[in-house]
Amino acid sequence: MGQAGLVGFMNVSIVMLIIGFTVLLLMVKFELGPMSRLSAGRRWLMTLVLGSGMVAFSIKLALIATFVHFPEQTIRQQIAMRKSPALVTWDSGKFAAAEQPVVQVQKPYEWRALPGVAPAPAWNPTTPEKVALGERLFHDTALSIDRTVSCSSCHDVRNGAGEDHRPSSTGVGGQVGNRNAPTVWNAAFQAVLFWDGRAASLEDQAIGPPLNPVEMGMPSAEAIEQRVRADVSYREPFARAFGADRPITIRQIAAAIAAYERTLITPDAPYDRFVRGDDKALTTAQLRGMELFQSVGCIQCHSGPNFSGASLFDPPPSTQRLFPVFDSPEYMKRYKLNKDPGANAPGSKQAVWRIPSLRNVALTAPYFHNGSVDSLPEAVRIMATVQRGRQVGSGTNGVRAVVWSKQDRTIARNDTAVLSDRDVDDIVAFLKSLSSDTLAARNGNGG
C-alpha cells in the first residue's frame, strides 16, 4: 500500500472512530447509565472500558500517521542507534580503526581451526595396534581380486595428497571408474562418505572399494576374510589389535582401516595458524579471499573447521546439496556437470552430492565428481556461477574494508554483486592457505 493509500485509510478510520465513540457515549448516557444508576464520572469510565478496543486502534493510527508524515525524522534516529562501533580493519596489510559502521549479523560466522585428533566411535576406539594394522591393510594389494590394487593405489598418502590426480581412478583389470577419487586426508571428520554420501562412517566406507567390481573386485566379504586369514603374518597383528582367539572378520578389517584413516589429518595449514593467533600466517590477498569466501556465501556449504557442511563438527541441516543450482549451458556442456545425477534419481537435471571438504584443495586437482576441471581458478568461477549465481568478470570492486576480529574470530565486508578476476584470484589464494604445510612441501608447492 502506498503513502496515499495509507492516508486515505487513516481518514476513513478516524471518521469511523468518531462515529463509534459518539454512538457509544450516547448509549452509556441515555441507556446503560440510567439503568445501572451510575454517576457521571462512572459513566465516562464505562465508556472508556467499553471502547478500549477503539482506544487501542486510535493509538495505532497515531503511530502510523507519525511514520507516514515524518519518515526521515523518526526512522533515521533508529538507524543511528543501531550503528556498529568501530572495529579493526585490514587495509594494505595493516590493521586500523574502521571509519564506517560495519553491518553485523546476529550470529557472525566463527572461523575455527582443525582439531589435532579425529573422533572415533565408542565401539572402535583408536589404538596404536589398530592403526598399525590398518596402515598395512590400506596398502595391501591382496585385498583386490587380482592382487594389483590397494586402497593406496587411488589414495596416495605416502607421496601425494591422498588421491591419484586422475579424473577417474583405474581399478582391477585396467577398468576405469566414472568418479574422481576424493582425498582421504581429513576424511575422518566427514559425517558421510563417498561422493553420493551413501556411507555413514569410515568403517562403512572401507568395505566399499574392495567389493566394487571396477575398483578392487572382490566377490564377497567372506572372500576378503579368507584372503586375509590365509596370510599367517596377519594373525599376530589382529590378535594385538582385537584380542587373541578372535576370528578375523570383515568388521575387524574395516575397523582397522578406519582407525588408520583417523590419523590422516592435517591441522598444520597457514589458515589454522592464522585462526589460532598468528597474524602473519595469511597474506593480504588471502585475507581478502577469506572474506570473499564468507560474503559470497561459500561458507553456506563449505563450513566449519573441515570446510564441509557434511562434517562431524556441527549437526548440518543436510550433508548433501543440489549441484548445479543455477543453469549455465556453457559450463554444463564443457564439463558435463549434470551427466551423473549422484544421489538424485537417474535422469535428473540436477545432481545431489555430499559436500566435499576443501582442505588441501589446491593439492588435489582435478576437481568435481568427474574430475573434469584441472584448474582451481576455473573451479572457483564455476562454483560462483552455478552454485552462488554470481557474475564473474574483470571489473573493479572499488573501495573495500575487510574487518577481522581476533577476539571473536569473525570477518566482514560490504558485499559486491559482481566478482572480478581479482576476486577469483583472492579466493584461490585463500584456498591455498588450507593446504597442509607438510603436504605442500611434499608436493613442492602450495598448489
SS3 414: coil
d(CA 52, CA 221): 78
Strand 351-354 relative to strand 88-91: parallel, antiparallel, unpaired?
Answer: unpaired
User: Residue 37: CB partners within 8 Å, gap ≥ 6?
Assistant: none
SS3 91: strand
Four-point Cα dihedral 325, 329, 335, 339, nearest 10: 70
> Do 337 and 151 touch, CB atoms closer than 8 A?
no
d(CA 429, CA 178): 30
> Do 44 and 71 touch, CB atoms closer than 8 A?
no
Of 399, 398, 323, nearest to 367 by C-alpha is 323
> Do 342 and 195 touch, CB atoms closer than 8 A?
yes
Give the cell for residue 409.
Answer: 574470530
Peptide bond into 341 cis (omega under 30): no
Give the cell for residue 252.
Answer: 575387524
d(CA 287, CA 429): 9
Position 2: which residue type?
G
Chain centroid to CA 145: how far? 38
Judged by phi (left if over 0) then psi (alpha if -120 to 50, else beta), residue 114 lies in: beta
Of 278, 223, 227, 230, nearest to 113 by C-alpha is 278
> Do 135 and 126 touch, CB atoms closer than 8 A?
no
222 flagged as catalytic: no
d(CA 394, CA 396): 7
Task: Give the C-alpha distances (Å, rounded to integers) separating 441 from 266, 268, 285.
Answer: 13, 12, 21
Total Cβ atoms within 10 A of residue 431 = 28
* DSSP letter assigned to residue 30: I
Give the cell for residue 114.
Answer: 582443525
Task: Give the C-alpha distances (Å, rounded to integers) separating 237 from 5, 135, 244, 265.
Answer: 83, 11, 10, 24
SS3 431: helix
Catalytic residue (choose from 203, 215, 225, 261):
215
Active site residues: 215
